């Protein structure tokens, strides 16, 4: 019932020339229908990427945005500006933004609401650190991030939110969560979403796993009942690798 979603987060990578060859590579193969595919270039690549993927199965996402429509916020980009470039999805509250750019749960909540109000689909990220997991606090931390991050989102729009669980210790480390760890946490996230919005809404919210996803672990992850899709960093930068992830096998 929930459509699988495969998202590539390019982070601060790819010149225009590199973006061009990456996207050409992605478009060279046919992609299974009934799945959503998104690439999230840096802001400078959005316009070019948008043109290249127009009328293909791949949709455009951004990596961040401000919550205001316009104003004196030097260096920031608004939801309206993203809409102009045919952006459909926006990553909100990635752990790198929380860690390096002072993104708080309150800002995450304002941005998530602003995305929804502007017809953008927010991919709201949550994730615990290694110390928090080893201390056994991971469920508590994730619940707090979810409750605070969704604080401004009422049930009329909640089903459009995408939640991405990205344990910080699995990002860019090659140390992916096991299928069981990922499935367990995504199940927990859905329980929290049910507490917040009731089961008919929470059953419609897509929940992704992210953290060292690659062509070798994608099939196992996507077979987990709670995993609706993946948010991919490093492996989304090479077209052969990302193609293998987008065309994962859901049989067996
Ligand atoms: P990696 O896939 O490189 O671990 O990055 C995950 C991520 O942060 C995607 O948003």
What CATH number did the domain enclosing 174 receive?
Answer: 3.20.20.70
Q: How many structural domains compose the chain?
A: 1
239 in a structural domain: yes
146 in a structural domain: yes
User: Residues with beta carbon inside 6 Å of ligand 1?
Assistant: 9, 94, 166, 171-172, 210-213, 231-235
**Sign, CA torsion 75/81/86/90:** positive
- Separation CA 5–CA 228 (nearest Å): 7
Choose which residue among 213, 215, 245 to substitute to test ligand 1 binding: the one with the highest number of ligand atoms within 8 A of its C-beta: 213
Query: Could you tell me the distance, in angstroms and rounded to a whole number, from the CA of residue 210 to the centre of ligand 1?
Result: 6
- Separation CA 168–CA 226 (nearest Å): 20
Per-residue confidence of the chain (252 residues) as pLDDT tens digits? 899 999 999 999 999 999 999 999 999 999 999 999 999 999 999 999 999 999 999 999 999 999 999 999 999 999 999 999 999 999 999 999 999 999 999 999 999 999 999 999 999 999 999 999 999 999 999 999 999 999 999 999 999 999 999 999 999 888 888 999 999 999 999 999 999 999 999 999 999 999 999 999 999 999 999 999 999 999 999 999 999 999 999 875
28 in a structural domain: yes
The per-residue pLDDT for 174 is: 83
Looking at the CA of residue 234, tell me the nearest atom of ligand 1: 3
CB-based contacts of 243: which residues, under 8 Å, 6+ apart? 25, 26, 29
Q: For ligand 1, atom 1, name the residue with the nearest CA.
A: 233
Query: Catalytic annotation on 94?
Result: yes
The per-residue pLDDT for 252 is: 58
Continuous segment of H or E residues that includes residue 230: strand 229-232
252 in a structural domain: no
Query: Could you tell me the distance, in angstroms and rounded to a whole number, from the CA of residue 220 to the centre of ligand 1?
Result: 17
Looking at the CA of residue 173, tell me the nearest atom of ligand 1: 4
Contact 82, 65 (CB under 8 A): yes
60 in a structural domain: yes
234 in a structural domain: yes
251 in a structural domain: no
Range of the domain at 31: 5-246
> Residues 96, 103, 128, 166: which is the catalytic one?
166
106 in a structural domain: yes
Query: Could you tell me the distance, in angstroms and rounded to a whole number, from the CA of residue 233 to the centre of ligand 1?
Result: 3
Query: Catalytic annotation on 166?
Result: yes
Looking at the CA of residue 125, tell me the nearest atom of ligand 1: 10
Please give the model's pTM, rounded to 2 decimal places.
Answer: 0.97
């Amino acid at each position: 019932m929930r459509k699988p979603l495969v998202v590539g987060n390019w982070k601060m990578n790819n010149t225009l020339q590199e973006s061009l060859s990456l996207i050409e590579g992605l478009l060279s193969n046919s992609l299974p229908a009934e799945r959503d595919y998104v690439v999230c270039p840096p802001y400078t690549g959005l316009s070019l990427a948008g043109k290249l993927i127009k009328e293909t199965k791949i949709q455009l996402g951004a990596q961040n945005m401000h919550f205001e429509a316009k104003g004196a916020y030097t260096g920031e980009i608004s939801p309206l500006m993203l809409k102009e470039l045919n952006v459909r999805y926006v990553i909100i509250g990635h752990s790198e933004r929380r860690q390096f750019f002072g993104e708080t749960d309150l800002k995450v909540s304002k941005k998530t609401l602003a995305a929804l109000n502007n017809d953008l689909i927010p991919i709201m990220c949550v994730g615990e650190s290694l110390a928090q997991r080893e201390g056994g606090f991971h469920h508590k931390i994730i619940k707090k991030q979810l409750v605070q991050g969704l604080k401004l989102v009422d049930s009329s729009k909640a089903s459009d939110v995408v939640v991405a669980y990205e344990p910080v210790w699995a990002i860019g480390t090659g140390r992916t969560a096991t299928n069981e760890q990922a499935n367990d946490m995504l199940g927990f996230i859905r329980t929290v979403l049910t507490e917040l919005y009731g089961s008919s809404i929470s059953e419609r919210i897509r929940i992704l796993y992210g953290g060292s996803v690659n062509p070798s672990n994608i099939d196992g992850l996507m077979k987990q009942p709670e995993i609706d899709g993946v948010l991919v960093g490093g492996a989304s930068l090479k077209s052969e690798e990302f193609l293998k992830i987008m065309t994962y096998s859901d049989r067996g």
